[in-house]
């Protein structure tokens, strides 16, 4: 199937004299996860992971993806003629390097200008010009060959009440307009679906597990124009928009609108706004290429959001604790597989009041499947759970009160000493980071070493960030805050931790062919004491679920580390015990015992 699709794409490339065609994992908004309509890279390679870029030439095809997906991609690309390029590995070229090496003199680089951001598009333009070539970006060639492509999503839109958002739309718009004034911008173009949803206090369902609305937004001091599929605007939403001074226009009209911005100073983030939009801006317009002001505004949760998020985590903890009790009690006694266990956990979450949806597709990997960082069980890969070894479950929910993301690894029975040693190392790492005290001004780059030290001292590591920001009833992955030891293009030194930022703490270890272990909590940054040395900060743990003590080796922990784990478990019991009774409550008491 994939070889035939590649052949059809190459025919289209030949008609247009395109030498290299690039298919990223993207929609028109640089979203991390995309709707079914936008899964062009999956269509052309067969790889189903959430991150990766395909590059197709007349004779070769390659897929670039990161360390989370090396194992999964290697399996899914078998027999496709697509070569896996492991990003970040020694001697592996980047996509841009490969394109430059492959492109011949006078050659043409092609891509759909709506799915490549403006910054990357400009780099590809430079590569083409170096070879005296050009770009071909006006057509979606995958769309030419994808005959049964799903339609673009048009799901209903709903309003997030101020009781949950904690801040009115008018207030948010005023704050962004103030930032525009500071930067000297007359117009702000916003393409990020998360930022638009946050700014307007609206939510939708146009991406699975990400409650956003396919749309663009243009903001001036006088106008706020929301470009969306207008069929989704009902009377309630129309009245709400009018009250907040927001007008609507058709989704596709945005591309023509930007052409009218003659002689305007425009604030936009070219790392998010796509190439076609950037190309449509008038030459007389002046661009301020900078992070969207909403990026940090939405990352710093207000008091209402934090209070609500705590409530969401209590609900989630009740579901997770009941799942852990059920799993430990029944494994080996009743039929149970990765998929059936995942489904049972979802049913427990859906019993909680205010659950809107899962926050992502649950990862439930038993034994060697746990070593696939973003494993997704299918009917073909699903395996029975046995009363032995380790089961990794990474899951979460969107509640009206907030978004949760938690990973627990469970001992389903006897585990080896190697497993215990690795599990204990991961637990130490998680607890050490959660208990960090630091001066204001630190970023995740400063703090990541705290989590990695138990690994690095043993010559080990894990090939993913230690933690990511979490949206509020939005994308479960949110910036700019993160724990990682490498910077990004926009923030080479990482983002400074501000009071109210919510970030995951999720170290792991993955032994290919054997097992995977990851332990993940959410942390909210808080202000501690202020003294002559400055403002100290600390993290409050928002996740209230036991770590499986059956996989812990206390001998490998210092007294300080044992106390941290015991204190955490004492708090888990205090928070969750009022919601359990009978056998479940007795189990929780044992599961949170002091070691």
595 domain residue, yes or no = no
Task: Indicate if 58 and 22 belong to the same structural domain.
Answer: yes
**CA-to-CA distance for 433 and 79, rounded, in angstroms?**
42
Residue 344 CB coordination number (10 Å): 15
Please give the tally of structural domains in the chain: 3
Whether residue 48 lies inside any domain: the answer is: yes
pLDDT for 376: 86
Q: Once rounded to an integer, what is the mean pLDDT over residues 566-579? A: 98
- Note the pLDDT tens digit of each residue in 4-44: 999 999 999 999 999 999 999 999 999 999 999 999 999 99
Q: Give the model's confidence band at 199: pLDDT under 50 very low, under 70 low, under 90 confident, else very high.
A: very high
410 and 549 co-located in one domain: yes
Which residues are CB-contacts of 283 (< 8 A; sequence separation ≥ 6)? none
120 and 220 both lie in a single domain:
no
CA distance 315 to 79: 45
Nearest to 282 by CA among 384, 372, 189, 354: 189
Residue 412 lies in a domain: yes
**Is the pLDDT confidence value at 492 over 90?**
no
Same domain, 318 and 285: no
pLDDT for position 493? 81
Residue 340 lies in a domain: yes
Compute the distance between CA of residue 339 and CA of residue 300 in angstroms, rounded to an integer: 36
Q: Which domain holds residue 379?
A: 299-590
* CATH code: domain of residue 193: 3.40.350.10
For helices 559-576 and 303-330, the axis angle rounded to 10 degrees is 100
Return the CATH number at 386: 3.90.230.10
Digit-coded pLDDT (tens) for 276-288:
999 999 999 999 9
Considering the domain architecture, whether residues 165 and 314 belong to the same structural domain is answered as no
| Same domain for 166 and 74 | no
How many CB atoms are closer than 10 A to CB 35? 20
Q: Are residues 257 and 379 in the same domain?
A: no
Q: Is residue 398 part of a domain?
A: yes
| Same-domain pairing of 104 and 170 | no
Q: What is the pLDDT of residues 60-119, one digit of tens each?
A: 999 999 988 898 899 999 999 999 999 999 999 999 999 999 999 999 999 999 999 999
Q: How many angstroms separate the CA atoms of 505 and 104, rounded? A: 45
Q: Is residue 318 included in any domain, yes or no?
A: yes
Q: Which of residues 150, 171, 198 is at a domain's end?
A: 150
Which has the closest alpha carbon to 594: 566, 573, 554, 571? Answer: 566
Last residue of a domain, one of 246, 278, 294: 294
Residues 130 and 226 in one domain: no
Average pLDDT over residues 119-135: 97
Residues 340 and 469 in one domain: yes
Confidence of residue 206 (pLDDT cuts 50, 70, 90): very high
Residue 53, domain member (yes or no):
yes
Radius of gyration of the chain (CA): 25
Q: How much is the mean pLDDT over the chain? A: 97
Read off the pLDDT of residues 290-310 as tens digits, 9 standing for 90 and up: 999 999 999 999 999 999 999
Tell me what pLDDT residue 67 has: 85
* Helix H or strand E segment including 348: helix 338-350
Q: Are 433 and 505 in contact (CB under 8 A)?
A: yes
Q: Any idea what DSSP says for residue 399?
A: E
Cα(133)–Cα(83) distance, integer angstroms:
25
Tell me how far apart the alpha carbons of residues 58 and 199 are, in angstroms, rounded to a whole number.
44
The whole-angstrom separation of Cα 357 and Cα 42 is: 24
pLDDT confidence of residue 484: 95
Residue 488 has what pLDDT? 76
Do 366 and 306 reside in the same domain of the chain? yes
The residue out of 128, 150, 172 marking a domain boundary is 150
What's the whole-number mean pLDDT along residues 317-330?
A: 98
What average pLDDT does this structure show over 536-559?
98
Instruction: Let me know whether 227 and 319 are in one domain.
Output: no
């Amino acid at each position: 199937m994939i070889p035939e699709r590649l052949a059809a794409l190459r025919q289209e490339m030949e008609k247009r004299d395109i030498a290299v065609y690039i298919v990223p994992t993207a929609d028109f908004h640089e979203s991390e996860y995309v709707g079914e309509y936008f899964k062009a890279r999956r269509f052309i390679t067969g790889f189903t992971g959430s991150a990766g870029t395909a590059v197709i030439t007349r004779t070769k095809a390659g897929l670039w993806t990161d360390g989370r997906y090396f194992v999964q991609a290697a399996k899914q690309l078998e027999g496709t003629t697509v070569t896996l390029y492991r990003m970040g590995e020694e001697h592996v070229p980047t996509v841009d390097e490969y394109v430059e090496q492959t492109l011949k003199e006078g050659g043409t680089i092609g891509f759909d200008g709506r799915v490549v951001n403006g910054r990357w598009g400009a780099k590809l333009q430079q590569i083409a010009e170096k070879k005296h070539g050009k770009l071909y970006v006006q057509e979606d060639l995958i769309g030419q060959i994808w005959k049964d492509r799903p339609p673009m999503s048009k799901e209903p839109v709903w309003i997030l009440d101020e009781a949950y958002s904690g801040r009115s739309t008018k207030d948010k718009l005023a704050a962004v307009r103030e930032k525009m004034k500071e930067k000297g911008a007359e117009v702000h173009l916003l393409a990020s679906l998360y930022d638009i949803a946050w700014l307007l206090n609206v939510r939708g369902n146009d991406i699975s597990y990400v409650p956003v609305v396919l749309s663009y937004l243009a903001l001036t001091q006088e106008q706020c124009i929301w470009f969306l599929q207008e069929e989704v605007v009902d009377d309630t939403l129309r009245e709400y928009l009018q009250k907040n001074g927001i007008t609507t226009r058709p989704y596709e009209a945005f591309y023509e609108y930007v052409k009218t911005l003659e002689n305007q100073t425009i604030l936009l983030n070219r790392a998010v706004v796509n190439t076609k939009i950037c190309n449509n801006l008038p030459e007389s317009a002046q661009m301020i290429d900078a992070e969207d002001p909403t990026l940090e505004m939405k990352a710093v949760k207000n008091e209402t959001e934090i209070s609500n998020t705590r409530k969401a985590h209590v609900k989630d903890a009740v579901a997770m604790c009941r799942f852990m009790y059920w799993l430990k009690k029944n494994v080996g006694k009743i039929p149970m597989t990765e998929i059936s266990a995942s489904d049972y956990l979802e049913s427990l979450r859906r019993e909680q009041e205010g659950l809107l949806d899962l926050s992502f597709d649950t990862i439930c990997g038993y034994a060697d499947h746990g070593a696939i960082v973003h494993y997704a069980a299918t009917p073909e890969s699903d395996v029975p759970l046995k009363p032995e070894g380790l089961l990794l479950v990474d899951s979460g929910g969107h509640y009206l009160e907030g978004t949760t993301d938690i990973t627990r690894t469970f001992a389903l029975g006897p585990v080896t000493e190697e497993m215990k040693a690795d599990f204990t190392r991961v637990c130490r790492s998680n607890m050490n980071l959660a208990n960090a005290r630091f001066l204001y001004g630190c970023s995740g780059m400063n703090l990541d070493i705290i989590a990695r030290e138990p690994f690095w001292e043993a010559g080990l590591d894990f090939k993913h960030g230690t933690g990511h920001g979490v949206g509020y009833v939005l994308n479960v992955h949110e910036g700019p805050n993160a724990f990682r030891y490498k910077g990004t293009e926009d923030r080479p030194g990482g983002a400074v931790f501000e009071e109210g930022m919510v970030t995951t703490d999720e170290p792991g270890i993955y032994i290919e062919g054997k097992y995977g272990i990851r332990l993940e909590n959410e942390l909210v940054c808080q202000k501690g004491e202020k003294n002559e040395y400055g403002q100290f900060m600390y993290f409050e743990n928002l996740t209230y679920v036991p770590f499986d003590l059956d996989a812990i080796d206390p001998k490998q922990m210092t007294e300080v580390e044992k106390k941290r784990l015991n204190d955490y478990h004492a708090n888990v019991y205090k928070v969750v015990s009022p919601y359990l009774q009978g056998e479940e409550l007795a189990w929780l008491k044992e599961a949170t015992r002091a070691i």
